[in-house]
């Protein structure tokens, strides 16, 4: 049952995606690429690039799009609901309850402890992307693109949307 799979694929990142959008990227990848094989790494990275270039929350953009790909409009809804539903319900239920504990070191510790795990997950993904690029475009192109995009993103502080657009144009002209 595809809708059920879509629900599971986004319910898990929605529940364990602690520390916001970027944290859920590798979790979504884990479900969509490794577990359900709906996409390969390069399709996923293409989608991520597109999603990054558009406004709005990243997790719901991914859920909405992949859900649509796998199960049409209904699939899109299921993906989005699985992503936002659990945390939203929790929020409404817990708000009264957690008010008392909002400065509790326990709650802060939760966020702190899982940060290294998320970092590792993101690191593994970055490695996969670089490796995939080396595999298809060769190491010269890969190194060049890494260097230039790093400088533009981090030193020039150019908006990611422009960097992605630039790389798309570069690819269309020089890598075809």
Partner 1 sequence: MQQWNLFSAFFRVGMLGYGGGPSSIPLVHKEVVEKYKWLSDDDFGDILALGNSLPGPIATKMAGYIGYRVSGVIGMMNAVLATILPTIIIMIVLITSLNNLRDQPWVAGMTQAVVPVVGVMLAKLTYDFFKKAKIQLGWIVTILIGTASLLLIEWAGVHPGIIIFALLLYALVRPMRRKETTPINQQEQSS
Please give the residues from 76 up to 115 whose contact with partner 1 meets the rule CB under 8 A: 76, 80, 83-84, 86-88, 90-92, 94-95, 98-99, 102, 105-115
Phi, psi of 125 (to 5 degrees): -65, -45
For 56, the 3-state DSSP assignment is coil
Q: Applying CB under 8 A, does 2 fall inside the site for partner 1?
A: no
Q: Applying CB under 8 A, does 28 fall inside the site for partner 1?
A: no
User: Nearest distance from residue 112's CB to partner 1, in Å?
Assistant: 4
User: Nearest distance from residue 162's CB to partner 1, in Å?
Assistant: 11
Q: Applying CB under 8 A, does 159 fall inside the site for partner 1?
A: yes
Q: Which of 5, 30, 36, 158 binds partner 1 (CB under 8 A)?
A: 30
User: Nearest distance from residue 67's CB to partner 1, in Å?
Assistant: 9
User: Contact at 8 Å (CB) between 80 and 60?
Assistant: yes
Q: Name which of 3 and 148 has its Cβ closer to partner 1.
A: 148
User: Contact at 8 Å (CB) between 114 and 18?
Assistant: yes
User: Nearest distance from residue 142's CB to partner 1, in Å?
Assistant: 5
Residue with tokens 């510790």: 109
Q: From the CB of residue 122, how many other CB atoms can be counted at a distance below 10 Å?
A: 15
List % helix, strand, coil for the chain (3-state, nearest 5).
Answer: 85, 0, 15
CA 69 to chain centre: 16
């Amino acid at each position: 049952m595809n809708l059920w799979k879509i629900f599971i694929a986004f319910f898990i990142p929605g529940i364990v995606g602690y520390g916001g959008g970027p944290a859920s990227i590798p979790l979504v990848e884990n479900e969509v690429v490794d577990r359900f094989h709906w996409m390969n790494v390069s399709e996923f990275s293409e989608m991520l690039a597109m999603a990054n270039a558009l406004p709005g929350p990243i997790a719901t953009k991914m859920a909405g799009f992949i859900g649509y790909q796998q199960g049409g409009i209904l699939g899109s809804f299921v993906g989005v609901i699985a992503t936002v539903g659990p945390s939203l319900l929790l929020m409404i239920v817990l708000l009264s309850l957690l008010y008392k504990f909002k400065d509790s070191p326990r709650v802060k510790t939760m966020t702190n402890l899982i940060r290294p795990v998320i970092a590792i997950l993101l690191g593994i993904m970055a490695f996969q992307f670089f490796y995939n690029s080396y595999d298809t475009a060769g190491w010269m192109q890969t190194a060049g693109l890494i260097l230039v995009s790093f400088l533009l993103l981090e030193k020039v502080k150019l908006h990611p949307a422009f960097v992605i657009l630039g790389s798309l144009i570069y690819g269309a002209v020089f890598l075809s």
